């Protein structure tokens, strides 16, 4: 293969056809298909096994049922919300980042000019500023839960470096660490979508 996986993904993300990439990489379409399946599979976070994660008070167990739905078991509320953030990021890390970027008016950074209109709208509404203000008004126990949830998302992100969901490589970027106000900005965007328009 004349192209690295990273190069192939970036070229796909820029809109090159699979045929063009196969030609540049000097591989057959069947080889491309096998590479694609393996590359996607390699990036799925492991749902089995144990991990040693700093910052937990006790062990947290995340069990997935027959439908893949996570059930988080913990001995403390903080650990429960950490596990919830971790499981959410396992399943939806790119979606979380996309929603955060949309709410904060930062989609054009990764999607280009076609996202400018959305960014202008969301910056005009000021969802990021609203989230910052909301954070200061939350009760301490709610802030603690949100901080634990945020730590769970960040733990999964850190664990996934080098094998993030494939969308990140297709778009050529890595997500920034999660902040508590990112979750609040997303909630604000949902409120705007459902009621504000």
Specify the pLDDT at position 52.
64
Identify which of 86, 34, 79 has the alpha carbon closest to the alpha carbon of residue 56: 79
Structure tokens at 28: 């057959």
pLDDT tens per residue, range 48-77: 655 666 667 888 888 888 888 899 999 999
Q: What is the DSSP letter of 194?
A: I
Specify the pLDDT at position 195.
83
With a cut of 70, list the residues of the chain below it in pLDDT.
46-55, 196-197
Specify the pLDDT at position 66.
87
Specify the pLDDT at position 42.
84
Q: What is the DSSP letter of 73?
A: E
Specify the pLDDT at position 167.
93
3-state secondary structure of 72: strand
pTM: 0.88
């Amino acid at each position: 293969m004349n192209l690295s996986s990273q190069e192939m993904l970036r070229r796909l993300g820029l809109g090159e056809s699979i045929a063009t990439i196969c030609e540049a990489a000097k591989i057959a379409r069947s080889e491309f298909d096998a590479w694609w399946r393996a590359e996607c599979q390699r990036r799925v976070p492991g749902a089995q096994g144990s991990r040693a994660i700093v910052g937990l008070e006790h062990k947290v167990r995340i069990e997935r049922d027959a439908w893949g739905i996570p059930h988080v078991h913990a001995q403390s509320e903080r650990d429960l919300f950490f596990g919830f953030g971790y499981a959410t990021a396992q399943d939806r890390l790119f979606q979380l980042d996309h929603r955060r970027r949309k709410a904060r008016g930062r989609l054009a950074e990764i999607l280009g000019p076609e996202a400018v209109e959305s960014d202008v709208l969301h910056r005009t509404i000021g969802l990021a500023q609203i989230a910052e203000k909301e954070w200061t008004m939350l009760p301490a126990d709610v802030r603690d839960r949100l901080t634990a949830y945020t730590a769970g998302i960040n733990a999964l992100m850190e664990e996934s470096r080098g094998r993030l969901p494939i969308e990140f490589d297709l778009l050529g970027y890595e997500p920034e660490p999660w902040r508590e106000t990112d979750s609040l900005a997303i909630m604000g965007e949902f409120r705007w979508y459902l009621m504000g328009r």
